Amino acid sequence: MLKRYHRDGDYIIKWDSIVLDKDLQYEEEPVEILDRDMHKLRTKEIKFVKVQWKHRPVEEATWKIERDMQDKYPQLFVDLGTTASLL
């Protein structure tokens, strides 16, 4: 069933602080890791992190594979000279 939309302004992206490329696209940047989780399969374990993205509210944080995030954004995992995954 459809519900009436109540405009509150949280969905609006502040365009003045976003840099667009020539195709009018931009890449989201992670701000911090909010949570961690692990999914256990039969033969392996997959670690996930909940990522807060720049220009997005906390409600829109997403779960990403920890290894992929470490490869792409190692600065998120640095904590006093050691990586968070080793702690």
Question: What secondary structure does DSSP assign to 42-60, as a single string?
Answer: SS-EEEEEEEEETTS-GGG
| 54 lies in some domain | yes
CA angle, corner 8, sides to 4 and 13, nearest 5? Answer: 120
With a cut of 60, say whether residue 79 has pLDDT above it: yes
Which residues sit opposite 33 in a β-bridge?
51
Predicted pLDDT at 15? 64
What's the total number of domains in the chain? 1
Tell me the pTM: 0.64
Tell me if 14 is assigned to some domain.
Answer: no
CA atoms within 13 A on the CB side of 22: 0
* Domain harbouring 42, CATH code: 2.40.50
Q: How confident is the model at residue 87 (pLDDT cuts 50, 70, 90)?
A: very low
Rounded mean pLDDT, 13-36? 80
Over residues 40-57, mean pLDDT: 92
Domain range enclosing 66: 25-86
